[in-house]
Structure 1
Amino acid sequence: MMVSPKLLQSNSMEYVGEKLWAANLGELLVIISVVAALLSSIFYIKGASLELKDLSWRKWGRLFYRMHSAAFVGLILLLFYLIYTHSFDFYYVWRHSSTEMPMKYIISSFWEGQEGSTMLWGFWNVILGNILIFTTKRWEGAVMAVYGSVQFFLSAMLIGIYIFDLQVGSNPFQLLREHPDMISLPFVSNPNYLEFVEGNGLNPLLQNYWMTIHPPTVFFGFATTMVPFAYAIGGLWLNQERSWIKHALPWTYFGIGILGLGILMGGAWAYEALSFGGFWAWDPVENSSLVPWLVLVGAGHLMLINRTKSRSIFSAYALSLFAFLTVVYSTYLTKSGILGETSVHSFADGLPGQLIIFLLFYLFLALYLLFYKGYKYLKKSEDDAFWSREFWIFLGSLVLVISAFQITISTSIPVFNELFGSSMAPPADPIEHYNSWQLPLAIIVSFLIAVSQFLKYKQTPTKNLFKQLAPSFVLALILTIVFAVNLRMEALFLKILLFTALFATFSNLDYFVRILKGKVKKGGAAIAHMGFALIILGALLSAGNKKIISKNRSPVNINFEDNKNANQENVMLMKGDTVLMEPYYVTYQQRRFEDPYVYYDMDYLKVNSNGEYEKQFSLSPFVQLNQQMGNVPEPSTAHFWDRDIFTHITYADLENLDSASQERYGEADTLKMLMGDSIFSSNAVIIIESFDRTIDSTKMSLQKGDIALGLNILAKNLKGESYRARPVMVIRGNRVFGVPDQIDEFGLKFTFNSVDPETEKLTILLSEKNANAGEFVIMQAIVFPYINVLWIGCIVMVLGSILAVIQRIRTQNSEA
């Protein structure tokens, strides 16, 4: 039985302010999108032949794809409109946005949910599909048949109906009151419920400018993997051994550049917005974007060596197909909910059944064509000479596949547990786990990049090759020794990777300057390889040699349950105090509250030749407050040409931030102390000096027969300022009570409650003003040396990829 969720309840009540027209229009556009995509694919299948004379099939396919495109773009514009107008009568809008959210992040809320991200992916497919209609020419039928079918699956993910117990799609235009989580709540019976409904808001981690450009770029990269996939399907389907490659090759390198850029943007976002101290954490969803890129890079290089002669054409087909399949698999990982809490990126709820069908359909289609139609190409592969460019490119592609395979296996542990009922735990330390596997592979890839540019097709004279590589080899070796000594690198594999990354950088620079004579138009590959080598070099120099400079020098023990080395990795800073944090001194100046952010202003100082503190720079790490999703600490970083200083708050009291609450005293701590004992408050050292028996009964308003005993308490701060308090314990009949005394300057209040005659321990209640919570914070500071090498490498690699695309297009046009 097929039934829509909105028909599950019969409700004749008229609700005020609901945009029912938008709900109906959205559902209509989804239906048009699904049907038109399916019909487009069917007609294109009929018109797939390269020698087709009757083009009417393709005309119909084209018509329906454009109809699908119009409906899909309409869906996107409608959802943007609803988010922009804060239409909380729609569950998706309520779930991912709020009126309190800055307008600049409205765009991010569109793709925070799985429905929005699906629409983002489909949007790029719409754009690329319409471009391909004009550029594929004879290949239009085969290529667009694939596009229509994929868009059918993506559009179906937005239907939001149930077929028996199987949910087909998740409708982004479902009304709030009709959502299963809301349908039985009391507000549903109120026709004016929209008057008091406020949106849930955007995840605070996503409220960053990188998240307005990173997801669209990544999904654009995902979409580009479908172009070589569609051409490879067409090549196998129509028995075209190599002719598809010249059409797919420019798109493949375009995809390499775009997806690589998107991944690097994600690293930049993690570095700027997250507080784990780095740019890559081997998160499962990070891995799921990296794997398609690795496979796509391998596919692009295999296409290069199979353009004119079949050498490893079967492998070129396989990687072109699996680049897209790994994207579909990553969609399953992120949208099915199977990752659970193993990733900060995954969706908690999903469509596992539908996603499995999506994945299996294209997996079986690809495998069927690959082995039924492509098996014959295995026999046509030739053995290449060891010192040939073909052999080394094939070897490099193989290493990339091994890298992708290892990442996929480790990331898929939750999937294996689900399939086989096992209980394998993900790696306890993901960074150490993945690095131990990927480090040797990175060494091999770097070395291949260093050598391959100087290799010739078919065979290369080794004497001439070694002569050309010698300058780069020697320079890399010298700099490796210099860096290893200065950075005190001890691990052998890190030293080897340092050498191969430097070797790859210098050899490709040498090739670009000496062999290509600095001709940028022809230097795409060399520049891209140089950029990739710089990324590896920058990651190694920064993450591999990062140094935590925040060490606790206060007498207060820092104790975090999840970090036994907290005192060696964090510094406690008292407001106004100056603490050594080599090579700087740090002064915590103030706490600023700018809703929803709490900033902690820090000055970094050095001692000048006159022995005076001289300010070098200031940083303001902050915490973003979010009651519904939890508070999020975000870093503040000082950038220098040779290093970054990365800081973030690891502890701060975030309650009672308004001025009135700041002046109130918090809950008292009960202290058991002996005479002469001392203890630390948040801003002072407290010493119990002596008893005070000279109590002024009149001033204390004591009654006749009262017995009073006072305490002399001394409080001193780190600046040397000292004040005294004299709380009094009163015994009145059978009742004992304390008369408190306070030190306003320090925001401290003392109450002397009792004395244990056996142990002579004093019971003292200590209260502090809420403002004192802002008097200290705990912070971590990390130095990332030479991290700018990584960011420069990102720019260089993307630039090289763009140049490679332009060069491929020129070559294709000249051969046409």
Structure 2
Amino acid sequence: MNWAGELLLIVAAVTSLGAVGLSLGGRLLRRPRWSRLGVWALGGTLVAAAGAMVLLLKAFLTRDFDNLYVFEHSSRSLSLPYTVSAVWAGNAGSLLLWLLVLAAMAFAAARGAGRRAPLSAPYLVATLSAMTLFFSLLLLFGPNCNPFAPYPLSPSPPDGLGLNPMLLHPGMVVHPVALYLGYVAMAVPFALMVAGLAAGDAVTSWITPLRRWALAGWLFLTIGNVVGAWWAYVTLGWGGYWAWDPVENASLIPWLTATALLHSIIIAERKNRHRLWLVSLTAVTFLLTVFGTFLTRSGVVASVHAFTASGMIPWFASFLLAMLVLAAAVIGRRLPSLRGDEDPVPLLSETFSFFCTELLLSVMTFVILWGMVFPPLVRAFGGSEFALGAEFFNAGAAPLGLLLVLLTALCPLVRDSRGSKSRLGRDLVLTGGVGLVVLIVLLALGVRRPYPLAAFGLAAMLIATVVLTFVRNKGVRRVSRRYGALLVHLGLAVLVIGIAGSWSYKQSVDGDLPPGGSLYLGKVQVTYQELMSRDSVEKSEIRARLALAVDGRAGGELLPSLEYYPRSDQLWTRVARRGSLGGDVYVTLLAIAGEGDSVSLRLELHPLIGWLWVGGGIMALGGLIALWPARSRRRTAQVAAALAAPSGISSRDPSDGPAVVPSVASSAVVPAGLPENPPADGD
């Protein structure tokens, strides 16, 4: 069935090209029917991509080793979940998944845009279809990108090479898919921005769908990053969860700019400000997702997470450059209108506090991005091979991260104060007092390191701010966006507690133990009892049975192991953990001497690391609640958008003839729940 899969990829490319031509032709030649056909051509791309994915999945499930990609990433002994996840385990399958998700989201966005903004919808369809065209052509003609390439020899082998041992983990089912969903979702805000500016629509006409898609992308990126950190922690055996690896950073930086974008959207919706920030962050976030994909697949950087270098630099470099030029062109064309005549804002205002947050997130993005690209740039210009280690990133990210927590605690207080210095002062005394009490207690307990002291104190202040805002504003409980945002802030505080505890107070000791020997670390004792071995078709496994005791009390068994995979000739470590919110006991089996005469172990303690996973989960839950549709909010937003005057950019096509402007009297009805005169900054 390889020929059928390739045929469907050709259909996807043809329909994508047709969608671009029909949409632009219909818009420029004023043929609305052509534009509507362009949407259905994009639907054809979705059908073709879905059909190709079904065929590839069928090839994996039926162990069709006539397919080279199936042979390289699967075997008969793989369980069903890992057989399914093997579909996106390699470069070609992950690109097909990308195309499918992109086509699905593009079609959904196009269907909604046709009803909401008929003038800009053709540009939206053309932009998204150009993206699906790129990925279709890449799958067909890119090096090592075709998931339907046949096995080169005959007959085909009876079994495949199997999945990389590192990928045999539940995180493989969730982490890549979540990141792809996040990356692709950020393409829709970019296309909405391009379409709106190209058509001359007011920002108010497309900011609502942009917010929803940006929030969806942020949610998936949050899930992807947290699950990825957990996966690295429990799988790689090095005892950490974030190594500032280039590919890890490539998924973090669009999350940072997406967070800044969401804050910019809030101010643009409420105050009709930050329009230039809004479009710039929209473009940068999408471009960073493309850049991250480029890093993962180009071989420019060395990473345990990257695909094998496959000669894809010209492809992604060209695509990245084309999207950059497109964004610069549409933003540059509307630059005077985007800047507008915005008056200076008071320092004590929601707008200014949000601007500081957006600026800080942008600075964090630049620091991390610079640490990623500087070594390759030096190498490209003839310099020596080197890499910036975790020390560089920690030195930049730690103080900026603490400042971000402080701003996150201050912004809701500034908003609720409405310019009243006395009210803000009282709130700061209350929330800051909570943080100060925590700081004093920690000092009394002997904590002296500055970073964890600051992190715990600021996290306590942020939690106090969330509680105060929730208790004071009863309406928050009925507004899913505000309620979700507070949960995200709460999750950030909990996550910071986990990072500060595990990063600052991690302990480790190595030791060689004979049977009956013990290794001690603080109040934790592990005792080596025996070795156990188990063989299967897929692997050979040796486990060390360890008895765990904490503070003299039995804590059960730990079974760290070494696994050998003969097909790929790889030796892999599987750690053993025993955890709680207080921290994890983490044991790695490093080596075995003789027939089990002794084992080399590494015993680690990771205080408070469970709070990191809980905090990440709370943030994801908050994002989901904020994204959840509310009927009354949708209706209010629609009425408000209808009554809002265009802000600097005409929402009409000049060729449509003279405008009919309603009289002031005819538009003087204010929807329920909206103030007649929205409060200005500082009110």
Would the TM-score normalized by the shorter structure come out above 0.5? yes
Alignment of 1:138 with 2:78, yes or no, is no
- 1:48: how far off? 5.0
Residue 630 (structure 2) pairs with residue 811 (structure 1): no
**Residues 1:467 and 2:444 aligned together:** no
Q: Following the alignment from structure 1 to structure 2, what is the Cα–Cα distance between the partners of residues 48 and 775?
A: 78
Give the alignment partner of residue 279 of structure 1, picking from 213, 216, 241.
Answer: 241
2:251 maps to which of 283, 286, 289: 289
Map Cα deviations across residues 353-409 of structure 1 (whole Å, 9 max, x no partner): 111111111011111212222344224333211110111111101111111111111
Q: How does 1:341-490 map to 2 (within 5 A)?
A: 341-413=302-374, 415-417=376-378, 419-427=380-388, 430-456=389-415, 460-484=419-443, 486=445, 488-490=447-449
Shift of 1:117: 1.2
Q: Distance in 2 between matches of 1:375 and 1:576?
A: 76
Question: By how many angstroms is 1:594 displaced?
Answer: 2.3
Name 2:661's counterpart in structure 1. none
1:75 paired residue number: 52
CA 479–789 in structure 1, closer or farther in 2 if over 3 Å, else same: same
Q: Quick check: 1:28 aligned with 2:7? A: yes
Displacement of 1:273 in angstroms is: 1.1
Q: Distance in 1 between matches of 2:60 and 2:21?
A: 35
Range moving further from structure 2, 96-105 or 432-441: 96-105
Matched length: 626
Say if 2:548 is the partner of 1:604: yes
Q: Deviations over 1:74-129 (max 9, x none)?
A: 11111111122222222211221222333331122111111111112222212222
Alignment of 1:311-322 (within 5 A): 311-322=273-284
Would you say the 8 A contact 2:527–2:547 is kept in 1? Answer: yes
Match of 2:150 in 1: 175
Q: 1:231 to 1:68 in 2, by over 3 A?
A: same
Secondary structure of 1:513 counterpart: helix
SS in structure 1 of the partner of residue 110 of structure 2: helix
Q: What SS is found at the alignment partner of 1:173?
A: coil
1:528 equivalenced with 2:528 (yes/no): no
Q: Residue 566 of structure 1 corresponds to which residue in structure 2?
A: none
1:518–1:376: structure 2 CA closer, same or farther, 3 Å change rule? closer
SS at match of 1:382: coil
Picking from 513, 522, 537, the partner of 2:471 is 513
Report if aligned partners of 1:97, 1:106 keep a CA contact under 8 Å in 2.
Answer: yes
Range with bigger deviation, 107-116 or 327-336? 107-116
Q: Which residue of 1 aligns with 2:296?
A: 334
Shift of 1:47: 4.2
Q: Tell me which of 177, 180, 184 is aligned to 1:223.
A: 184
Greater than 6 Å deviation, 4+ residue runs: none
Q: Aligned letter for 2:397?
A: Q
- The letter of the residue matching 2:353 is W
1:41 paired with 2:20, answer yes
Q: More helix by proportion, 1 or 2?
A: 2
Gaps of 5+ in 2: 639-683
Task: Indicate if the aligned counterparts of 1:285 and 1:330 stay in contact, CA closer than 8 A.
Answer: yes
TM-aligned CA distance change 1:514 to 1:457, over 3 Å: closer
1:626 is the counterpart of 2:565: yes
Q: Which amino acid aligns with 1:85?
A: T
Residue-by-residue CA offset, 1:512-562 (whole Å, 9 max, x unaligned): 1223377263412111111112212211112222122xxxxxxxxxxxxxx
State the partner residue of 2:618: 796
Please give the residue correspondences for 1:91-130 in structure 2 after superposition, counting only pairs within 5 Å.
91-130=68-107
**Matched residues in 2 for 1:304 and 1:211: separation?**
34
* Cα 1:203–1:809 shift into 2, 3 Å: farther
Q: Is the 8 A contact 2:251 2:292 kept in 1?
A: yes
Structure 1 partner of 2:132? 151
Q: Distance in 1 between matches of 2:375 and 2:64?
A: 37
Task: Name the CA distance, whole Å, in 1 between partners of 2:304 and 2:342.
Answer: 41
Out of 592, 611, 617, the residue aligned to residue 556 of structure 2 is 617
1:219 and 1:374 mapped to 2: Cα distance? 32
Describe the superposition over 1:749-774 as per-residue Cα deviations: whole angstroms up to 9, x where unpaired. xxxxxxxxxxxxxxxxxxxxxxx432
Residues 203, 629 of structure 1: 8 Å contact kept: no
1:687 alignment partner in structure 2: none
Aligned partner letter, 1:601:
R
Matches within 5 A, 1:562-641: 569-595=509-535, 596=539, 597-605=541-549, 615-627=554-566, 628-641=568-581
Change (3 A) 1:810 1:277: farther
2: distance between equivalents of 1:174 and 1:331?
22
Contact kept? 2:144, 2:310, Cα under 8 Å:
no
Contact 1:257–1:802 under 8 Å retained in 2? yes
Checking the alignment, whether the CA contact within 8 Å between 1:385 and 1:458 is kept in structure 2 is: no
Which amino acid counterpart does residue 501 of structure 2 have in structure 1?
A: L
Q: Distance in 2 between matches of 1:235 and 1:582?
A: 61
Q: What TM-score does the superposition give when structure 2 sets the normalisation length?
A: 0.87
Paired letter, 2:561: F
Relative to its length, the structure with more strand (as a share) is 1
Select which of 48, 56, 67 maps to 2:33. 56
Superposition deviation, residue 579 in structure 1: 4.4
Distance in 1 between residues matched to 2:15 and 2:476, nearest whole Å:
50
The 10-residue stretch of structure 1 (238-247 or 371-380) with the greater mean CA deviation from structure 2? 371-380
The residue identity in structure 2 corresponding to 1:536 is V
User: Any conservation in 2 of the 1:113–1:347 contact (CA below 8 Å)?
Assistant: no
Matches of 2:393 and 2:630 in 1, distance apart? Answer: 34
- Is contact 1:509-1:527 (8 Å) kept? no
Asked whether the equivalents of residues 505 and 533 of structure 1 are also in contact (C-alpha less than 8 Å), the reply is yes
Q: C-alpha distance in 2, partners of 1:792/1:607? A: 26
- The letter for the 2-side match of 1:216 is V
Contact persistence 1:512–1:527 (CA under 8 A): no
C-alpha spacing 1:607/1:127, structure 2 compared with 1 (3 Å)? closer
Whole-Å separation in 2 of the counterparts to 1:489 and 1:114? 47
Which residue in 2 is equivalent to 1:323?
285
**1:410 partner letter:** G
Q: Give the SS at the match of 1:773.
A: coil
Contact 1:159 1:169 in 2 (8 A): no
- 3-state SS, counterpart of residue 229 of structure 1: helix
Kindly provide the amino acid, as one letter, of the partner of residue 268 in structure 2.
Answer: N
2-structure distance, mates of 1:623, 1:487: 39
Q: Give the C-alpha shift of residue 782 in structure 1.
A: 1.4
Q: Which residue of 1 aligns with 2:654?
A: none
What are the superposed Cα offsets for residues 619-677 of structure 1, whole Å, 9 maximum, x if unpaired? 11112212325211121110123111111112235xxxxxxxxxxxxxxxxxxxxxxxx
Percent of residue pairs identical: 25
How far residue 176 of structure 1 moved from its aligned partner, in angstroms, is 2.2
User: Residue 422 of structure 1: SS of its match in structure 2?
Assistant: coil
User: Closer, same or farther in 2 for the Cα pair 1:392/1:55, shift >3 Å?
Assistant: same
Contact 2:371 2:392 in 1 (8 A): no
Confirm or deny: 8 A CA contact 2:417 2:423 kept in the other structure.
no
1:302 deviation in Å?
0.5
Q: CA RMSD in A?
A: 2.3
